[in-house]
Structure 1
Amino acid sequence: MSTGLRRLTLRSTLVVAALLATVLAAPSAAPAAPAPRPSAAPAAVQAVTFEDTFDGPAGSAVNGAKWQTETGDNVANHERQFYTAGNANAALNGQGQLVITARRENPGNHQCWYGRCEYTSARLNTAGRFTTTYGRVEARMKVPRGQGMWPAFWMLGNDIGQVGWPNSGEIDIMENVGFEPRTVHGTLHGPGYSGSGGIGAGYTLPNGQAFADAFHTFAVDWSPGAITWSVDDTVYQRRTPADLGGRQWVFDKPFFLILNLAVGGYWPGDPDGSTAFPQQLLVDHVRVTTSDGPAPGGALRGLAGKCLDVAGANSANGTPVQLYGCNGSAAQRWTVGGDGTVRALGKCLDAAAAGTADGTRVQLWDCNGTGAQRWSYNAATRDLVNIPADRCLDVRDGNPADGTPTQLWTCTGAANQKWTLGG
């Protein structure tokens, strides 16, 4: 795999694609994956901000109000395809799906970095049409198979035209390379961690299954300072600024969406005699949901079915936050905000003295915007994580007795770190 850039600026025929004149991206690294954590379904969404279910007559092009089609080749990564306009390689199938087709042909006599192009395919993006900051971003897709195939569903920072890549940031929601039919990758790229140095992990299907055999839903759940990847609602990695080794986190701003099917390149390698054409990426839907609107709230139920509680319903700064039998009081009603705060009694859940070590006491404090009060709640894993510390809200010693204090502790997946919001 090359350490060079993964995606080249495309010679687009669309005026709006001038925004992408510096669009670059990098070959995802394939770091060792943490063990997948089985999970429940994500929390109910507040609002759908973008959705395409690709309904329309067979052969129709995609909705131009939602997507633009890029054209050109990709020299920086030595991909082999030419991305075409219109519905030549991206069209609806009349059954509620988008089909991106890679063909071994070149009827338009397109020229690529290596000479006359051998393949055609398609790449779509929402730049200038839709961006999102945070929320759940998902696509249900069936990937192609074969050596040299490289489907991807990903996002780029909308400021790429101003700051360039990798400073814009890149969130790869799903990439698959043909020589790994059972595995997909999710990766972050940014300043100092781009190319093969991207931060990510892979997810492998069990029991010898291949991703080309069936549709799967690929998603990220994205909140301030945290991104979580899942396949079919099984979470397989979570990344926060703590994973970057002091390098800049560039993922708290608007991003746009990209779908493409590449052929060849440094990472997947070129097609060979075993690769049959045409190959297709089928997309059943793309959907973005967000927590805009009223913040989700209610009791946070944890160990032994008991609730996260402000001791004595006392709103004074420094009041301990503890486990206690659920009683429906205001001291047990929490709201989880889009700003990363978790609030009760008009104040914020706070790591005492901005501590980040195991055993740091958790308390109530005036909301002040510091990292001590920035949390990520993931309904899929039921973890409530302090972002700077990258540690979970933990019931001390796993003790279910009323009044047991809470603390920060390294996330272990144990029952004393699981919280269910609502009710």
Structure 2
Amino acid sequence: MRTRVLVSAVALALGGLAAPPASAAPADVTPLAVTFADEFNGPAGTRVDGSKWNTEVGDNGGNNREHQYYTTSASNAALDGAGNLVITARKENPANYNCWYGRCLYTSARINTSAKFSTTYGRVEARMKMPRGKGMWPAFWMLGQDIGSVGWPNSGEIDIMEFLGHQQNTVYGTIHGPGYSGAGGIGMAYNGPNFADGFHTFAIDWTPQGIAWSVDGYVYQRRTPADVGGNQWVFNKPFFIILNLAVGGEWPGYPDASTVFPQQFVIDYVRVSTSDSSGGGRITGVGGKCVDVAGAGTANGTAVQLWDCNGTAAQQWTRPGDGTIRALGKCLDAAGGGTADGTLVQLWDCNGTGAQKWAVSGANDIVNIQANKCLDAQNASSANGTRLQLWTCTGGANQKWTVAA
């Protein structure tokens, strides 16, 4: 668990306000496959899905001088039974939790997908409704998965949406990295409707070339490596997702007599989908046979094999730029995350894990990065139905591939 670092974005310093024209332009990256989704469906009072989310506990280490204590209690984060996650900030009387300044005055919740889901590139979006009142600070944001080893801001941070409860018509999108962090983050404020009156969709479309922010489909800001002033662009690696509702802090200020508790940050869904930036095509190997999804099946665990090239969708593979290789909306996957020789390769829901990260070398190898092993046709066979597996790279013909995708 990491504590939150200063992520303030000052509108004037970051380029002022953007407002939509009469006809809003759509985001310009078309989703290919959903790699992560939580629709928050379930009975009222149910906690978040622990297979997808970590629930943080504590006072955020005093960062930003916030005044909340994050708990695992369903009173602070739970499904509402109507398809939403509700993160609730509550005023505690008496204050029962120790904070950096004494006793915490408020409780709330913060969840993240670290070590459970990360993505490099794609569309990351959520449909949400904001809380109200001075001192309310909800955020939908991302941190580099390597933060534990490189620290912040070297890890990078992408703030997809930040909101201040006393500015009902404004949201902020910002990036932070080495040389452009904290109040020096690079971003922009967006001026729209009252975001506490109803649900709105907040998203980024992220590619190797840059990041575009949108609200309800209107792209209001784009940032590229050219925008970081010669500093390092740290957004070409895996990031994980965070949702939280902070109370107070140096940027939003603190609740006052006008702030009513409890306050709710309501999230309808979170989805990640990866865009196809490279087209699609076949992958051929030993004997001129194609890499093929057995029976054109889309169930998790469907075998990946060699077969006579036939031009079907089962042999159309894409490489969207996030290290994955995809067909039929799913990812080429090392079964069980295995790294041993003989680990079978299959089709599986895209999940951002190392089992689905591949590199195509100039020597025509397809290497699973996590295992550091090559995609291999079993027994050097070119017969129809030959299973594909991981194997120590030998340079053999059964490990050489021509990638059109």
TM-score (norm 1): 0.63
Query: How many angstroms does 1:76 deviate by?
Result: 2.3
Matches within 5 A, 1:189-200: 189-200=176-187
Moved more, 44-53 or 161-170: 44-53
- Paired position in structure 1 for 2:32: 46
Equivalent pair of 2:29/2:275 in contact (CA under 8 Å): no
Query: How many angstroms does 1:282 deviate by?
Result: 0.4
Q: Does 1:162 align with 2:149?
A: yes
Matches within 5 A, 1:21-420: 24-30=5-11, 31=14, 32-34=16-18, 36=20, 38-40=24-26, 42-74=28-60, 75-105=62-92, 109-205=96-192, 209-291=193-275, 295=279, 338-339=320-321
Query: How many angstroms does 1:85 deviate by?
Result: 1.2
Query: How many angstroms does 1:34 deviate by?
Result: 4.8
Q: Which SS does the other structure have where 1:103 is aligned?
A: strand
Equivalent pair of 1:68/1:126 in contact (CA under 8 Å): yes
- 1:80-107 deviation per Cα after TM superposition (whole angstroms, max 9, x unaligned): 1000014230000000000000000156
- 1:32-89 deviation per Cα after TM superposition (whole angstroms, max 9, x unaligned): 1356463135554210000000011100100000001001113121111000014230
Equivalent pair of 1:181/1:212 in contact (CA under 8 Å): yes
Query: How many angstroms does 1:225 deviate by?
Result: 2.6
User: What amino acid does structure 2 have at the position aligned with 1:81?
Assistant: Q
Q: Which SS does the other structure have where 2:119 is aligned?
A: coil
Moved more, 277-286 or 23-32: 23-32
User: What amino acid does structure 1 have at the position aligned with 2:197?
Assistant: D
User: What amino acid does structure 1 have at the position aligned with 2:207?
Assistant: S
Equivalent pair of 2:153/2:176 in contact (CA under 8 Å): yes
Measured in 2, the distance between the counterparts of 1:246 and 1:263 equals 35
- Paired position in structure 2 for 1:419: none
Equivalent pair of 1:68/1:127 in contact (CA under 8 Å): yes
- Change in 2 beyond 3 A, CA 1:122/1:291: same
Measured in 2, the distance between the counterparts of 1:203 and 1:23 equals 23
> What runs of 5+ residues in structure 2 fail to find an aligned partner?
282-317, 323-361, 363-405
Measured in 2, the distance between the counterparts of 1:158 and 1:249 equals 15
Moved more, 25-34 or 53-62: 25-34
- Change in 2 beyond 3 A, CA 1:43/1:224: closer
Query: How many angstroms does 1:116 deviate by?
Result: 1.2
Query: How many angstroms does 1:113 deviate by?
Result: 1.3
Measured in 2, the distance between the counterparts of 1:114 and 1:268 equals 18
Q: Which SS does the other structure have where 2:152 is aligned?
A: coil
- Paired position in structure 2 for 1:349: none
Equivalent pair of 1:81/1:263 in contact (CA under 8 Å): yes
Q: Which SS does the other structure have where 1:51 is aligned?
A: strand
Give the RMSD, CA atoms, in angstroms.
2.3
Measured in 2, the distance between the counterparts of 1:61 and 1:222 equals 30
Measured in 1, the distance between the counterparts of 2:170 and 2:231 equals 28
Q: Which SS does the other structure have where 1:76 is aligned?
A: helix
User: What amino acid does structure 2 have at the position aligned with 1:26?
Assistant: V
- Paired position in structure 2 for 1:9: none
Identity %: 64
- Change in 2 beyond 3 A, CA 1:164/1:86: same
Q: Which SS does the other structure have where 1:243 is aligned?
A: helix
User: What amino acid does structure 2 have at the position aligned with 1:27?
Assistant: S
Measured in 1, the distance between the counterparts of 2:214 and 2:99 equals 35
Query: How many angstroms does 1:161 deviate by?
Result: 0.4
User: What amino acid does structure 1 have at the position aligned with 2:67?
Assistant: R
Measured in 1, the distance between the counterparts of 2:29 and 2:118 equals 22
Q: Which SS does the other structure have where 1:271 is aligned?
A: coil
Q: Which SS does the other structure have where 1:213 is aligned?
A: coil
Measured in 2, the distance between the counterparts of 1:339 and 1:129 equals 20
What number of residue pairs does the alignment pair up?
Answer: 282
Measured in 2, the distance between the counterparts of 1:44 and 1:222 equals 11
Measured in 1, the distance between the counterparts of 2:27 and 2:17 equals 21
Measured in 2, the distance between the counterparts of 1:192 and 1:41 equals 29
- Change in 2 beyond 3 A, CA 1:159/1:210: same
